[in-house]
Amino acid sequence: MLDHTHDPAALSWVASANDPATDFPLQNLPFCRFRRAGSLEPWRVGVGIGDRILDLAAWGIDDLNALMARPGVERRALRHRLFDTLKAGAPEIDLVPQAEAEFTLPCRIGDYTDFYTGIHHARAVGRLFRPDNPLLPNYQWVPIGYHGRSSSIVVSGTPIRRPRGQVKAPDAEVPVFKPSARIDCELELGLFVGPGNALGEPFGIDEADEHAFGLTLLNDWSARDIQPWEYQPLGPFLAKNFGTTISPWIVTMDALEPFRIPFTRPEGDPQPLPYLDSPRHRAAAAYDIEMEVWLKTPAMPEPVRLSRSNLRHAYWSLAQMLTHHASNGCNLQPGDLLGTGTISGPAPEEAGSLLELTAGGKQPITLPNGEQRSFLLDGDRLGLRAQACKPGFRRIGFGACDGVVTPAG
């Protein structure tokens, strides 16, 4: 699926897009919704190029969900047209500086499902709660997920208010209702659904790519002291739905084609059931995307990186998430969001949550300025970053996914 839009030598007439450090070179072209900061203008669909935004209103594109619903061949044709408009030598047109824009959610998110595809995260968390049986027996057979709350998904930069909830200490007879003292982050990517499927009509694993529109950074904020008391027997609830932050940018699957890698399972692990497996899927269903967690406390002049992981560590692929979700006839729709779950790597420094990094809060992190953190305090700013890098191709970035914790109301 590689074509001229992936050519690393291609340059743009937008000078900032040619900077090797930019998230948005000509080979990326991510989508967003924006307007000029401080204005009451309608939200517009835009495309990122360097430090600018191409407004697609003049192109007749004012609804990203409608674009998501188009077949893949039409979406690729639009990518080619955008590439040709912004490449070096094309006539220059007016663009909007990103510094003068404000952003909202990139599309209407009808439904949100969060998966649990990071096996290293699943094992690490399982050891904290079930030392003798950290990985439940269904994990290696079925992509685990729960239905989240789409109404509390917010765009990067939106403050996250510390939630209140029921908390029960191990030695207490009754729970108490109080502000959470164990606010955590989760390093995830979110997959936006493209055309989707009709109710009662699932699709095969080799058709899944047609239903994948693009990826965004996703932080599934979690209240770790509320979670263990409420999650049995039906799973996460108020410990999760007080806020989910995503980047304002959607990086299309077409932009990520160069970073596909084979999908493999560790030797000795069960292989996926036939409906989640195929030779084509095994050949190139995984992606090499680096992901990072950054923290800045009110007392720190600059943020510090807490951990780094990679989507290659996911136990289930994006295609398997899509296929399994629709396998019972569930109708996925354009703009639906599927979270990957926390993507942690096998090494301790590759953990995608503070719960793992601090061994459940028992081993606080010491920051460069001497401060310590087990979980997030009010005023802490937590940021996620991601990039796809491969020799011979331009670096593809995902923009910022930031949120600051504010006191409970």
pLDDT digit string, tens, across residues 30-83: 999 999 999 999 999 999 999 999 999 999 999 999 999 999 999 999 999 999
Q: What number is the average pLDDT over the span 265-281?
A: 96
User: Is residue 206 a contact partner of residue 281, using CB atoms and an 8 Å limit?
Assistant: yes
- Same domain? For 138 and 250 the reply is yes
Q: Which one-letter DSSP state was computed for residue 107?
A: S
CA distance 204 to 324: 9
**Mean pLDDT across the chain:** 97
**Which pLDDT band, with edges at 50, 70 and 90, does 132 fall under?**
confident
**Which pLDDT band, with edges at 50, 70 and 90, does 15 fall under?**
very high
Which residues lie below 8 Å from residue 293, measured CB to CB, with a gap of 6+? 185, 187, 305, 306, 307, 308, 352, 382, 383, 384
SS (H, E, C) 171-233: CCCCCEEEECCCEECCEEEEEEECCCCCCCCCCCHHHHHHHEEEEEEEEECEECCCHHHHCCC
pLDDT tens across 81-106, in order?
Answer: 999 999 999 999 999 999 999 999 99
- Same domain? For 139 and 282 the reply is yes
- Same domain? For 289 and 180 the reply is yes
Specify the number of domains making up the chain.
Answer: 2
pLDDT of residue 131: 85
**Which pLDDT band, with edges at 50, 70 and 90, does 19 fall under?**
very high
Q: What is the CATH number of the domain that holds 274?
A: 3.90.850.10
pLDDT tens across 297-320, in order?
Answer: 999 999 999 999 999 999 999 999
Dig out the tokens for 57 from the structure.
Answer: 């209103």
Task: Please identify, among 53, 78, 104, the residue that sits at the C-terminal boundary of a domain.
Answer: 104
- Same domain? For 133 and 150 the reply is yes
pLDDT of residue 356: 97
Q: Which one-letter DSSP state was computed for residue 390?
A: -
- Same domain? For 18 and 142 the reply is no
| In the predicted structure, residue 195 carries a pLDDT above the cut 90 | yes
Task: Please identify, among 53, 86, 104, the residue that sits at the C-terminal boundary of a domain.
Answer: 104
- Same domain? For 137 and 100 the reply is no
The count of C-alpha atoms lying within 13 angstroms of the C-alpha of 303, restricted to the half-sphere facing its C-beta, is 18
Q: What number is the average pLDDT over the span 2-18?
A: 98
Which positions are annotated as active-site residues?
121
Nearest to 215 by CA among 74, 397, 352: 397
CA distance 215 to 69: 16
Q: What is the CATH number of the domain that holds 22?
A: 2.30.30.230
Task: Please identify, among 104, 132, 160, the residue that sits at the C-terminal boundary of a domain.
Answer: 104
Residue labelled with tokens 């108490």: 176
- Same domain? For 126 and 100 the reply is no
CA distance 153 to 246: 7
| In the predicted structure, residue 232 carries a pLDDT above the cut 90 | no
% of the chain at pLDDT higher than 70: 100
- Same domain? For 197 and 247 the reply is yes
User: Is residue 179 a contact partner of residue 361, using CB atoms and an 8 Å limit?
Assistant: no
Which residues lie below 8 Å from residue 233, measured CB to CB, with a gap of 6+? none
- Same domain? For 54 and 138 the reply is no
pLDDT of residue 119: 97
pLDDT of residue 89: 98
- Same domain? For 29 and 148 the reply is no
Domain range for 29 is 4-104
- Same domain? For 173 and 197 the reply is yes
**Which pLDDT band, with edges at 50, 70 and 90, does 284 fall under?**
very high
Q: Which amino acid is at 239?
A: A
pLDDT of residue 129: 80
CA distance 243 to 408: 13
Nearest to 355 by CA among 189, 185, 217: 185
| In the predicted structure, residue 130 carries a pLDDT above the cut 90 | no
- The pTM for the full model equals 0.97
- Same domain? For 348 and 328 the reply is yes
% of the chain at pLDDT higher than 90: 97
